[in-house]
A and B are shown apart, each in its own frame.
Chain A
Amino acid sequence: MQERIQEKLNILADSAKYDVSCSSSGSDRKNENKGLGNASASGICHTYTEDGRCVSLLKILLTNHCIFDCAYCVSRKSNDVKRAAFTVQEVVDLTIGFYRRNYIEGLFLSSGIFKDADTTMERLVRVAKKLRLEHGFNGYIHLKTIPGASNELMHEAGLYADRLSVNIELPTERGLKLLAPDKTFETMEKPMGFISETLTALNDTRKLIVSTPKFAPAGQSTQVIIGATDESDREIIQTADRFYRGFNLKRVYYSGYVPVLSDDRLPSLSMQVPLLRENRLYQADWLMRFYGFGAHEILDDSNPNLDLEIDPKFGWALRNLHLFPLDINKADLELILRVPGIGVRSAQKIVAARKFGNLGWENLRKLGISLNRARYFIVCKDRALETKDYSAETLRHLVLATANSKFSQLHGTQTSLFG
């Protein structure tokens, strides 16, 4: 019995690990009447895997039996792997046992499509329902929805889960056609639209009737696999932008394709997507979500892919030198946010601190700003460090020459790949 649970957990955690969503933030579920758990609005990573990713949730599949045959997926029908399935009660017991020991923030439950969409989805919902109603569980629950499930089930899922996700998997329609013939953008976007509309509708009702039930309070997210097909970074960022705007998504996750299967349609097993590309996409995503950049500012016709050597904000600044230098003691917060080397918190600190007097280089350094890049784009109280009219090309070299990038190791792998 004990060994069987161990075996199931190994199989069903192993096949769930390629889903990169790990966030447990954004929910405000409170522990009432002495129940178990309290969702932390900021989310908590309880540990990190040896590959450096955060572990916040118990991320498992209910089962890896699947009737679909998506080329990129380990659980696809035609792949010869060991299969297993949890019972509803087993998932509930594992979640509670782990949560009580403070190993996790909650559960991320996904599933292979072992039967039709509704039967599979109903089973996922039953786990969440049991946790909430029978165990008074207020921890985080993320359910991955099953493409093609009915609106009724999606609605019920949203009542018990904190977050719902609809993974579009591939960033372009032609990619889907090639690798996931059972899926189309249309079948993905329908549930996204339903979730988004329900969220908006219930939020409007809540303004009038306070007791309106919570529906996926941490919103919805999606995941795209990158590098399994030949799409450009621009296509990926545009797809993400469309989802952020169209469906009010909280997060888009980018998962560098890890070759696990040999298939004529896929990159060969030795061709791993450079981690750096994934990293640059996340940086670009942050620029859209927290720094006020539009997708069109990050990439355009002449720059269809992100520069692997420099971060996307520095890249944007080099293309827009006419906007600089910026006076750090006068400029608006939105503009300070656009200076390479200045993050959101530093920008806010600058604006708070300058009310007490003009800031100089020493102040900025102590605030933790990386002057290595910023010095070429700003002036402050002190004499300018760099006022020369450098060309974009020169600036790029100057910064790269002095930068001791934390990604230099990743660079190594990457150049040898293309070398």
Chain B
Amino acid sequence: MIWLVYDGSFEGLLTTVFEVYEYKWPEIHIRKEGMAVPPLFAEIRHVVTDDEKAKRVWKKLIGLFGPSGVRTLWISWLSELETIEETILEVIRYGLKLQQHVLNDFGNLHVLQLQQAVKSVGREKHRMEAFVRFQLTKDAIYFSVIEPDFNVLPLILSHFRDRYADQKWFIYDSRRAYGIYYDLERAELVDFIPNALLSPNGLSSEAFSENEMLFQKLWKDYFKSTNIVGRKNIQLHVQHVPKRYWKYLVEKRL
């Protein structure tokens, strides 16, 4: 069995798909560079990302699945699930075989797996749109740290750009070490974090504006007053607000 290792970019994956057909490999595994180590005696081939090959696959896929279908493939890929590349490849193979837009064939195992990944990513995207909590810095930047299970920053960019068009903001994914920075002109994915925001041992409280602590206090108060004590239902609460997010939520921090 051949293990194809690509650089972890979507273009890299498209190049890989191209080469699977180019070299007519019957059975293969696909992994991102740096992910789980293949078995000791596996034959490993590194795929070099090639814009030309990627473009040709992209065009073919647009013809087969339409722009929204290709977006669906891309969203499933953002799940970063260990074998998602193989699932995507199987769906492409299935679509090519039938020469049809097969993404609604929920009866097909690979399509179903892909759609389930899309659903998980979608849920997390929605959660991040809800759970981002901005803190206002002295430099007038609204700053937030998140740690999503899936790589959803590219998906939430437009939501925050449309919503907070008149304030500077920065959302940082601490798990993947990159963020989105909006400077009143454009929102872009960036792989730095302003030094003013992060001290070696985390956020420095001096970085924040005078009013910031007041608003956090008011929000915590509001969260408390709006609760009906006689109806306490922690199980339901935790189901909606999973504990792994608590450390980033003002109202759930002590």
Binding site for B on A (CB under 8 A): 2, 5-6, 9-10, 13-14, 16-18, 30-31, 34-38, 40, 44-55, 58-59, 94, 97-98, 100-103, 136, 258, 272, 275, 349, 352-357, 359, 363, 366-367, 409
Contact = CB atoms under 8 A, between A and B. Distances in A.
B251 A47 contact: yes
Nearest to A15: B225
A13 B219 CA distance: 11
Contacts of A97: 211, 215, 218
A49 B230 contact: no
A38 B162 contact: yes
B97 interface: no
A47 B241 contact: yes
A59 B226 contact: yes
A356 B108 contact: yes
Given A36-B165, A100-B167, A363-B106, A46 B225 contact: no
Contacts of A55: 223, 226
B131 interface: yes
Contact of B133 (A5, A18, A102, A355): A102
10 tightest A-B CB contacts, nearest first: A52-B236, A51-B231, A353-B106, A48-B240, A13-B225, A356-B105, A49-B227, A52-B233, A34-B165, A352-B104
Given A34-B166, A50-B234, A136-B166, A101 B241 contact: no
Interface string B165-209: 111000000000000000010000000000000000000000000
B132 interface: yes
A50 B130 contact: no
B105 A102 contact: no
B92 to A, nearest CB: 17
A359 B144 CA distance: 46
B135 A51 contact: no
Contacts of A272: 230
Interface string B211-233: 10011011101110111111111
B130 A349 contact: no
A214 to B, nearest CB: 18
A47 B249 contact: yes
Nearest to B219: A103
Given A38-B162, A50-B232, A353 B104 contact: yes
26 contacts: A6-B221, A14-B226, A18-B228, A34-B165, A35-B165, A38-B162, A44-B126, A46-B130, A47-B130, A47-B223, A49-B226, A50-B237, A51-B236, A55-B223, A59-B226, A97-B211, A98-B219, A101-B136, A102-B133, A102-B144, A103-B219, A258-B231, A356-B104, A366-B106, A367-B106, A409-B235
A13 B162 contact: no
Contacts of A18: 228
Contacts of B132: 102
A354 B107 CA distance: 8
Given A34-B166, A35-B166, A38-B163, A50 B233 contact: yes
Contacts of B136: 100-101
Most buried by B among A10, A44, A49, A355: A49
Contact of B221 (A9, A54, A349): A9
Contacts of B219: 98, 101, 103
A17 B227 CA distance: 7
